[in-house]
Amino acid sequence: MAYSEKVIDHYQNPRNVGSFGASSDVKERKDVGVGIVGAPECGDVMQLQIKVGDDGVIEDAKFKCFGCGSAIASSSLATEWIKGKSVDEALEIKNTRIVEELSLPPVKIHCSVLAEDSIRTAIEDYKKKNGQPVAAEAGHGHAH
């Protein structure tokens, strides 16, 4: 399959790779929200960690991804887009914008959905840790 130049660029030079510590450590940290979505048996797992300042702005974001090139690019792009946004602004990011930016073909749309899910899950984790209400809408399922 042919990949867009942007997908190839994110694949070769992924932005903001990493984490803010081992999974057991970040669990305890109130300034860090973690979203892990997907499953190994489906061929993709995305882990997004956000570090949120007292003002509710995402200061830093890190990702790790097991998945195809489009999944890696979607999560790498997501970290770029959410940095500097407030958590509520970040929740506005829709998967369709990721599809457009990376020119993902139809069979790869699920990668963008997963990236959107990881943003929401990380923010919900952060909000729960800080006693803030989370939106009623649960992660919307998507067909695989």
Partner 1 sequence: MNLPIYMDNASTTRTDPRVVEAMLPYFTETYGNSASRNHAFGWGAEAGVDRAREQAASLIGAGPKEIVWTSGATESNNLAIKGAALMYAKAPMGSEGRGHIITCIIEHKAVLDPCKRLEREGFDVTYLEPGSDGIVTADLVRAAIRDDTILVTIMWANNEIGTINDIPSIGAVCREHGVVFHTDATQWVGKMPTDVERDNVDLLSWSGHKIYGPGGVGALYVRRRRPRVRLQAMIDGGGHERGMRSGTLNVPGIVGFGAACEICENEMESERERLLALRLKLENELKGLMDVVEVNGHSERRLPHLTNISFGFVEGESLMMGIKDIACSSGSACTSASLEPSYVLKGLGLGDELAHSSLRLSLGRWSTEEEVDFAIKEIHQAVEHLRALSPLYDLHNEGIDITKIVWQSH
Structure tokens given for 105: 């073909």
Residue 20 contacts partner 1 per CB under 8 A: no
66 makes contact with partner 1 (CB under 8 A): yes
Spatial distance between the Cα atoms of 76 and 48, rounded to a whole number of angstroms: 9
Nearest distance in Å: CB 114, partner 1? 8
Query: Looking at beta carbons only, is 13 or 54 nearer to partner 1?
Result: 13
**Are residues 9 and 107 in contact, defined by beta-carbon separation less than 8 angstroms?**
no
Site for partner 1, residues 73 to 102, rule: CB under 8 A: none
Sheet holding 32-39, edge to edge: 32-39, 44-52, 58-66
Beta partners for 17? 63
Closest separation in Å from C-beta 56 to partner 1: 25
108 within 8 A of 45, measured Cβ to Cβ: no
Residues that bind partner 1 (CB under 8 A): 1, 3, 8, 11, 14, 17, 19, 22-24, 36-47, 64-69, 71-72, 107, 110, 114, 117, 121, 139, 141-142, 144
